[in-house]
Structure 1
Amino acid sequence: MAKKNKGKDPENDNDVGGEDEEPDFNDPEDYVDDITDEDLLGDLLREQPKETDGVESVIIVDGVPQVGAERLEKLQNVIRKLFKDFGPIVTEHYPKDAEGITKGYIFLEFKDRQCAEEAVRQLNTHKLDKQHTFQCNLFTDFDKFENIPDEFQQPKPQPYKDLGNLSYYLLEENCFDQFSVIYEGGTTTAIYLNSVPEVTVVAKRERWTETYVRWSPRGTYLATFHLKGIALWGGEDFRQVQKFSHNGVQFIDFSPCEKYMVTFSSQVDARAEEPQSIIIWDVLTGQKRRSFNAERPPVWPVFKWSHDDKYFARIGEDVLSVYETPSFGLLDMKSIKVPGIRDFSWSPTDTVLAYWIAEDKDVPAKVSLIAIPSREEVRTKNLFSVADCKMHWQKCGDYLCVKVARYVKAKREKNEIKYAGIYYNFEIFHMRDKGIPVDSLEIKENIQAFAWEPIGNKFGIISGEPPSVAVTFFQVNKGLAPSELKKFEKRACNNLFWSPQGQFVVLAGLRNLSGALEFIDTKDFQVMAATEHFMATDIEWDPTGRYVASCVSWWGHKVDNAYWLWSFQGKCLKRQALERFCQLLWRPRPPALLNAAHIKDIKKNMKKYSAQFELQDKMRFSKASKDIIEKRQKLMASFTEYREKVTEKYNSMKEARIELREGLDSENLADNEGDYEDETVEFLVKKEIIVLDD
């Protein structure tokens, strides 16, 4: 029997007569529930027990020595020493036979699945001694091994997919480069060919990407970002070449030779058995090669690649982990222990790693160079009173510059050192010289920017504070300290951009400055042009060093969004305003097949080729003029045809007009002179006073 609730009088708050039924909380018959359990109870569902709980962090190690009770403790110490680097071992079990001798396999339980997977990956096939080699497997993998069919089934070959010529753009006879442009707030993406005299559209699509685009390092692929992952496009018509499923992907990074791609997403499913934050993909096959967990927040890129794609590395807590491809396992199955490591970078041309270690009490900071895969330390440099270090490699790998921010010691108070400020040292490593000598350059001003000449031995530094900002160019010398070549005082700039081929540089005042631009030839340090692109946010050189683009991005400013194209000498060639323009990126080119001697010979004989190029330019502009004349002639012919039609129609309506005007023909005034009166109107146009000399 349902309970009855007595009502209350709303005025005197006393119980009144009458009884109400208990409310019914059931849904109506036609109610449709559109909320899933995942949306409603997502946090609880992720914590629900799974069948693999308790065993997914357990591994089985086979190939362990069989020992008796007298040697068991020694074996356990060896096993613990090998496996402790991958995480705390919760429990360990050594099965024994009836005589108390171990059976040659053991069970180890780690704190979580990630530790167990790393232990299996790194110590599987580890050779303990001449007679014993480990075979490591996850406990949860044994169900998979039990279901292996007895008979081998030959996999069906997949049909060949013809992707076309992905490098067709390199066959452009005039060597015009392509560039991508995103505008209309990100809804429209277009690829243009930087042809002369006008750029031409190669491809244009709406909602091609959801955020931004990125070219692969050699220009083979265009990567677009989507909610479910990354898509790669290529070929003459920009067809989809490959796609990679990674929900919520935010960042990507290609290996230098484009063999692999790394993606990052912050959307992680806690129920997933494998890491989902960082995934390394094979670009050609689209297969996932390995996944990793990410730090919070991640420092991108997490992995840094060697120049030949053979190795990639990341920093851990007091370790530097170097992985090799195509196995994607740790090099030599162990990390490099480097207590206090802060940052590292690869040489752009050699398998050499540079890293720096912070100071620790009386132990100085240190910059080290190590060769991979031998791990041989080829050079070290101790540093004192270090606040921070930044490493800058020259593109050819000839030099490494370590920008060191040092504390200025003031005095010691109560066994504590007080610092008065910061000054900067540039430690320059000569990588090609015997013993790798190091030069030092001290700058006692704030450093805003540093950049190497990509091909050459010069570098530029922007130092000081507005309005006393100076740009200084130095040259690295063999056996001598760097020499100052030229100093430009009081420059309104905060960035310098070298041409990819060297020699030419652009000084730019971006974002919070006015957008001043200076084009400088560092051969004789002549300022070829001093101009301005107001509110410019980005500078982009084309891969050949012939053109440079200055941009006002809608992501940086909401007005005057446009890109301007300049010659390397600072001549403005094109001003293109686009509605909510966002991004411009030049399509990269692969390394030249010519060696240094061939390139030097071409530069030496450039005058021989320049006449031919000038003739081609004149013909191209002449053709453009001819096209304009033909276009104007077509417009004139169209207008003449239209005018004749309208005149004919007007003449055909003459009688009707005269009838409506009661016989007045306004077109023939001679026949209607009596109906008109002439009137002359005069007005003063200009008054001049001329003073005549006597």
Structure 2
Amino acid sequence: SLSLCLSLSVSVVKASDGSVVSTFDLPKTSLLSLSPLSSVLVTWQPYSKTQDSPQGEANLQLWDLQSGQLIKALYQKKVDSWCPSWSDDEKISVRSVNNELHFYENNDFNSIANKLHMQKVSDFVLSPGAQPSKVVVYVPGSKGAPSFVRLYQYPVLGGPTAALANKSFFKADRVTMQWNKRASAVLVTASTEVDKTGASYYGEQTLHYLAVNGETALVQLQKSGPIYDVAWSPNSAEFCVVYGFMPAKATVFNLKCDPVFDFGTGPRNAAYYSPQGHILVLAGFGNLRGQMEVWDVKKYKQVSKPQAPDATHFSWCPDGEHVVTATCSPRLRVSNGFKVWHYTGSVLHKWDVAAGSELWEVRWQPFPDGSFPERPVKYQAAPSELGTTQAPPTQAYRPPALRHLPATPSAKLHEEEPPQNMRPGASGEKSLSKSALKNQKKREAKKAAKQEAKPESPSEPAPVSNSQSEPSSGDPETDKKMKNLKKKLKAIEELKEQQAAGKVLDCKPRPLRSVLQSQLSKLSQLPPFLYLDMLNARLIGA
């Protein structure tokens, strides 16, 4: 069914043939919604008082969709959380009234089946899926007390041990709570209006995890900055977070809140899993250029990198093979239209609105879960007459007077981080951390520079490796003397080797004993700990 709010009435029509199911005389209706199984129509008008009704009229109506009869009229002054929430099977519904949550069963709104009383409860979310239903509630902090989120299973709502999980935290002016598909865990994004450290104009965000088994955790993010998007995988076993100052990072975490795969940095602010959960799209819409990264999340291999500039909407087709991007009003009032893509980057269909018209919304036809099985991921672009729109490689701006000259490497504004596998036991460079990768690159560059600067000589003796650190006294003069003595000791060793090999020396050397005594007398002038360290080094080398 499809409900329409017109200027004088509200009509419900069948989406299949357009026939009218019911019509309601509600000229002031501002908001409306349907229950999950389309059994109940909910309408809301702005609350107002008149001389005839100083207490105001009930502005929230619940209608039986088939008969058109009014089920219940209720008072709902605030537009926040105006609509009741239903479980997927409509056996339970709940609405917030002052400091209580009122629960109803089987769409019987004439009697309250259960209540959850909690002071200053601000928000709640019912779990998806079958019974038993669960509800997660949020209470903001006040007067130095922390905010907290609690998780309950219906109908056990009272008592100190009724909550399945409890997580308290500071820095939370508002929260967003997201259940996974199996209703086994909740992700809570807590946000503040102002970042008191001054690091971000958009406030500060933190991510918290609660599970029905009582486990809670703070998700540790590896880059400071805002949290742009949080998306659960349809398999309910992992989730993706896009976060950090631009270029933003994207990381997949498991249910222990340990990182599984890091996609590196890039121009992105959203994450979209396919309905089957086998493909993940990281995208940068809004004030970004619309770049999309399509990843195979089983192999963690990139499939394509298309670009959809000025896109304001993205959604997956239920088949998990196609996506749609659209430019809609009022977000953008020019170049309205939509494109249908294959996930390999091919544009299969394009439609632009006529001049003077606007596109408001684009949606796929819904299908029940399981209607489309998962298919193997393809890496070759699907054939299309419209071609592909792969993002071109970005290059630094060069003035016209310098474009005929060979390009020179320039400093980068942001240091790009490559993708890396965070799973335990992952082999190769991808298993290294960010700091380890950076140190490894520095060592390789330093080694390459030394090899280029030093000419190859077969007669040159091989360098002697020493795993011990160089002793230091903290005094530059003493360190210089120590370095010179080490050179002389090394020269003595070379002379001994040449003499033992039968080589005739050009000059008659002093007796070895006298040379050693002279050097030892100089060593005795050094601080005791340096003298011992050098003596130990010589004994170990011998």
Q: Work out which of the residue numbers 174, 179, 191 in structure 2 matches 1:393.
A: 179
- What letter corresponds to residue 471 of structure 1 in structure 2? A
| Alignment partners' CA distance in 2, 1:577 and 1:407 | 38
Mapping of 1:507-546 within 5 angstroms? Answer: 507-546=282-321
- What letter corresponds to residue 375 of structure 1 in structure 2? L
Change (3 A) 1:399 1:531: same
Unmatched 5+ stretches in structure 2: 386-542
Q: Work out which of the residue numbers 215, 224, 249 in structure 2 matches 1:437.
A: 215
| Alignment partners' CA distance in 1, 2:251 and 2:82 | 31
Give the CA deviation at 1:406. Answer: 7.6
Greater mean alpha carbon deviation, residues 225-234 or residues 562-571: 225-234
Q: Work out which of the residue numbers 435, 447, 452 in structure 1 matches 2:232.
A: 452
Match status 1:354 vs 2:136: yes
| Alignment partners' CA distance in 2, 1:440 and 1:352 | 21
Give the CA deviation at 1:408. Answer: 12
Mapping of 1:183-332 within 5 angstroms? Answer: 221-234=1-14, 236-266=16-46, 270=50, 271=52, 275-296=57-78, 298-332=79-113
Q: Provide, for residues 624-671 of structure 1, a one-character-per-residue CA deviation record: whole Å limited to 9, x for no partner.
A: xxxxxxxxxxxxxxxxxxxxxxxxxxxxxxxxxxxxxxxxxxxxxxxx
- What letter corresponds to residue 557 of structure 1 in structure 2? L
Give the CA deviation at 1:504. Answer: 1.5
Give the CA deviation at 1:363. Answer: 4.3
Match of 1:383 in 2: 168
Match of 1:50 in 2: none
3-state DSSP of counterpart to 1:585? coil
Structure with the higher helix share, 1 or 2: 1
Give the CA deviation at 1:521. Answer: 1.9
| Alignment partners' CA distance in 2, 1:409 and 1:500 | 36
Q: Work out which of the residue numbers 328, 341, 351 in structure 2 matches 1:553.
A: 328
- What letter corresponds to residue 223 of structure 1 in structure 2? S
3-state DSSP of counterpart to 1:256? coil
| Alignment partners' CA distance in 2, 1:406 and 1:510 | 23
Match of 2:248 in 1: 469
Aligned residues between the structures: 365
- What letter corresponds to residue 254 of structure 1 in structure 2? L
Q: Contact 2:316 / 2:324 at 8 angstroms: preserved in 1?
A: yes
**Bigger CA radius of gyration:** 1
Q: Contact 1:386 / 1:405 at 8 angstroms: preserved in 2?
A: yes
TM-score between the two structures when normalised by the length of structure 1? 0.48
| Alignment partners' CA distance in 2, 1:396 and 1:312 | 19
Q: Contact 1:529 / 1:571 at 8 angstroms: preserved in 2?
A: no
Change (3 A) 1:508 1:408: closer
3-state DSSP of counterpart to 1:583? coil
3-state DSSP of counterpart to 1:531? coil
- What letter corresponds to residue 585 of structure 1 in structure 2? R
Unmatched 5+ stretches in structure 1: 1-220, 411-417, 594-598, 611-616, 622-694
Match of 2:337 in 1: 562
Match of 2:391 in 1: none
Give the CA deviation at 1:325. Answer: 3.4
Q: Work out which of the residue numbers 480, 483, 493 in structure 1 matches 2:268.
A: 493
3-state DSSP of counterpart to 1:523? coil
| Alignment partners' CA distance in 2, 1:307 and 1:236 | 22
Q: Contact 2:176 / 2:188 at 8 angstroms: preserved in 1?
A: yes
| Alignment partners' CA distance in 2, 1:551 and 1:437 | 40
| Alignment partners' CA distance in 2, 1:566 and 1:240 | 34
Give the CA deviation at 1:346. Answer: 0.4
Give the CA deviation at 1:420. Answer: 8.9
Structure with the higher strand share, 1 or 2: 1
Give the CA deviation at 1:235. Answer: 5.9
| Alignment partners' CA distance in 1, 2:298 and 2:156 | 41
Q: Provide, for residues 282-312 of structure 1, a one-character-per-residue CA deviation record: whole Å limited to 9, x for no partner.
A: 122222111222224x115432222221222
RMSD over aligned CA atoms reads 3.3
* Structure 1 runs of 4+ with >6 Å offset: 406-410, 418-422
Change (3 A) 1:573 1:389: same
| Alignment partners' CA distance in 2, 1:428 and 1:543 | 28
Higher RCO by CA contacts (8 Å cutoff, separation 6 or greater) = 1
Match of 1:372 in 2: 154
Q: Percent identity?
A: 21
Q: Provide, for residues 414-433 of structure 1, a one-character-per-residue CA deviation record: whole Å limited to 9, x for no partner.
A: xxxx99987544332333xx
